[in-house]
Structure formats: structure tokens, C-alpha cells
Amino acid sequence: NRQLYKVTTTYAAYTAAATTKGIVIATLPAKMKIVGFYTDTTAAYTGGAVSAATLEVGITAEGAAQIIAPHDVLSAAILAGDADAEMGTSMTRAAAIQGGYLPSWTGTTAIYATFDTTGANTSALTAGSTTFYIETEQF
């Protein structure tokens, strides 16, 4: 049983008086394997004195990168997840077990998208949007 989750966030979701802000974009049920994951930043992030911005996706906490590795979302729109080098530590081709990543057999799994900025806090952002596509397989 395959299912596709689609979640869109804008710069406003990452607003904080800090240079790092993580949010939960999805919570997967137990026995749910991730078989594909893409981040589609359709509008680059901009704002104030922000001189660099990266986005990563993981499960253990804010700042983790098991699913999608940190990638630049400030200089241009970008699709991440279509190359092995863009995948996080648990989603690379070498790490995939039976064609995917099974974070938990017994409990739910929160998926965190974490935004990191340089030059100013994330609250300085004034534009930007990312859609996350999560392809899953339920046991």
C-alpha cells in the first residue's frame, strides 16, 4: 500500500528569534516505510540580512538530516531528492534497506524540516516556499 503525502510550507513557518528553526511537517504511523522523498523549493527564500539559508529533513530532532541533506534554498529554487548526494544518511542508496527507510516498527515518527540561516535570524525571512513530497509504503 503506497501513499503520497504532500506538505507545503512558507517562510512564515520558520519564523524564530534564532538562526535555526525546525518544524514537524508530518507524523507517520508505525510500520510506515519511506520509499521516496523530495523537497521542491519553488520560490527561493529571501529576507533582510540573511546571507545564507539551508534546509534539511530528518526524524530524530530539529537539525537532523537522515532524510534530506542540508541544501541551499536562498540562491535559487531547487529540487532536492533527485540525486543520491542530496539524500540524508538513512536514505542514500547504500543505506536503503529493502528499498527504503523504516524509522519505526512500533511507534509514530515525526518528520522535521529544519531551516538554518546565516547573517540574521529566521524571522528576517520575507519570502520562500517549499513543498515536501513523501512517498510511503504501509505494512
- Digit-coded pLDDT (tens) for 56-109: 999 988 888 999 999 999 999 999 999 999 999 999 988 888 889 999 999 999
pLDDT of the residue at 86: 96
Contact 124, 49 (CB under 8 A): yes
Q: Could you tell me which residue, 94 or 121, shows the higher pLDDT?
A: 121
Query: 30: pLDDT confidence band, cut at 50, 70 and 90?
Result: very high
Count CB neighbours of 99 within 10 A: 9
pLDDT of the residue at 33: 96
Instruction: Say which residue the cell 507545503 belongs to.
Output: 8
Nearest-angstrom CA–CA distance, 127 and 139: 39
Report the alpha-carbon angle 11-30-112, nearest 5.
20
pTM for the whole structure = 0.94
